[in-house]
Amino acid sequence: MIDVRNLRKQFGSFTAVDDISFTMRPGEIFGLLGPNGAGKSTTINCVSGLIAPSGGIVEIGGHDIVREPKEAKSKLGIVPQELAIYEDLSAIHNLRFWGAAYGLKGETLASRVTEVLEVIGLVDRAGDKPKDFSGGMKRRLNFGCGIVHEPDVLLLDEPTVGVDPQSRERLHDMVRAETARGASVLYTTHHMEEAEMLCDRIAIMDQGRKIAEGTLEELRAQVGEQDVITLSGAFDAEPVETAFANLQGVSILSLEPGRLTVETADGPGRLANLLDAILGTGAEVRETLVRRPNLESLFLKLTGTELRA
């Protein structure tokens, strides 16, 4: 349903998205995972036609978003990071407005609005205005406005930002319901746990580029059985590098004055030896964190930095 080939977006001399390619199938949740500023929202804005790409091709259901915008956009539902609801319209009138904007009329519109109110759990608040809603309720209404016309492709840009765990889980259930009816979902997030739990396939982005893509199992295989150990304290680079050169099966991912990150098999079992080697250099260790293989350790391995918010 979505085919993105060599997508590029520049703002003056700044390249926000650099040669991104991916495809999506019906009934699939495809995640774009990366820190804020990685290019996820710009990618979604190009896919939706909100901004024009500087290069590359985006096709929605076989229609080019630039050359055939009307046909391509007719298949889309968009749930933006910034709330796209009217605070002074009731929940039901927000849904009616967006349904009508997508061409729904009469009984079809009324029936669909009733269905969506049930899905998002706002039947009892249908006549109330969003300005009186909690953050989670606003997010659910925002989601409802994006699905009221039953789109073939749903673009979700950080849809759970700022919501409580209960509302987040409800939003996840609503996303799964959309794929169950055959919709393709493009989902951006900077939460690794959310991507691991929800997405069928994941592309990891950083600084405008795609640095890895695959299923969760495929991405974990790139990490191997290596654990990631992060130590906070005070480190002198040269003696630490010398000490680690004599340790088999340990690789330094990043070394800064206040933080050292390494990868090794059986991190908990190797931790005592690692600490002995580090402390022997005169370093000060204040805190240690051992992480099992996951998307965060893959991001660390590929970029040398943590997945920053």
- Cα 47 to Cα 45: distance, rounded to the nearest angstrom: 5
216 and 230: one domain? no
173 and 28: one domain? yes
CATH number for the domain harbouring residue 262: 3.30.70.1150
237 and 216: one domain? no
Host domain of residue 250: 225-292
Domain-located, residue 134: yes
150 and 248: one domain? no
Tokens 């055959």 belong to residue: 182
Largest CA distance in the chain: 77
Domain-located, residue 207: yes
CATH number for the domain harbouring residue 169: 3.40.50.300
pLDDT tens digit sequence for 172-220: 999 999 999 999 999 998 888 888 889 999 999 999 999 999 998 888 7
Residues contacting 217, CB < 8 A, separation 6+? none
- Cα 86 to Cα 41: distance, rounded to the nearest angstrom: 22
What is the number of domains present in the chain?
2
Assess whether pLDDT exceeds 90 at residue 140: yes
- Cα 219 to Cα 196: distance, rounded to the nearest angstrom: 10
37 and 63: one domain? yes
- Binned at pLDDT 50, 70 and 90, residue 308 comes out as low
- Residues 228 and 291 sit within 8 Å (Cβ to Cβ): yes
Distance from the Cα of residue 265 to its chain's centroid: 28
12 and 59: one domain? yes
pLDDT tens digit sequence for 41-51: 999 999 999 99
pLDDT tens digit sequence for 261-275: 888 888 888 899 889
Domain-located, residue 12: yes
pLDDT confidence of residue 92: 97
**Phi, psi (deg, nearest 5) at residue 131:** -60, -20
120 and 206: one domain? yes
Nearest C-alpha neighbor of 178 from the set 202, 201, 155: 155
Domain-located, residue 302: no
Question: Which tokens in the block code for residue 119?
Answer: 């899905």
Burial class (CB in 10 A: 0-12, 13-18, 19+), 287: exposed
281 and 248: one domain? yes
Assess whether pLDDT exceeds 70 at residue 65: yes
Domain end point (choices 220, 249, 269): 220
Domain end point (choices 220, 244, 277): 220
- Residue that wins the pLDDT comparison between 97 and 297: 97
Domain-located, residue 303: no
Domain-located, residue 13: yes
pLDDT confidence of residue 287: 94
- Helix H, strand E, coil C: the string for the chain is CEEEEEEEEEECCEEEEEEEEEEECCCCEEEEECCCCCCHHHHHHHHHCCCCCCEEEEEECCEECCCCHHHHHCCEEEECCCCCCCCCCCHHHHHHHHHHHCCCCHHHHHHHHHHHHHHCCCHHHCCCCHHHCCHHHHHHHHHHHHHCCCCCEEEEECCCCCCCHHHHHHHHHHHHHHHHCCCEEEEEECCHHHHHHHCCEEEEEECCEEEEEECHHHHHHHHCCEEEEEEEEECCHHHHHHHHHCCCCEEEEEEECCEEEEEEECHHHHHHHHHHHHHCCCCEEEEEEEECCCHHHHHHHHHCCCCCC
Domain-located, residue 307: no
Assess whether pLDDT exceeds 70 at residue 307: no
257 and 175: one domain? no
214 and 71: one domain? yes
Domain end point (choices 195, 220, 245): 220
pLDDT confidence of residue 304: 67
Q: Report the 10 Å Cβ neighbour count for 131.
A: 11
Query: Highest-confidence range of 86-100, 156-170, 204-218, 246-260, by mean pLDDT?
Result: 86-100
- Binned at pLDDT 50, 70 and 90, residue 224 comes out as confident
Domain-located, residue 27: yes
12 and 147: one domain? yes
Assess whether pLDDT exceeds 60 at residue 163: yes
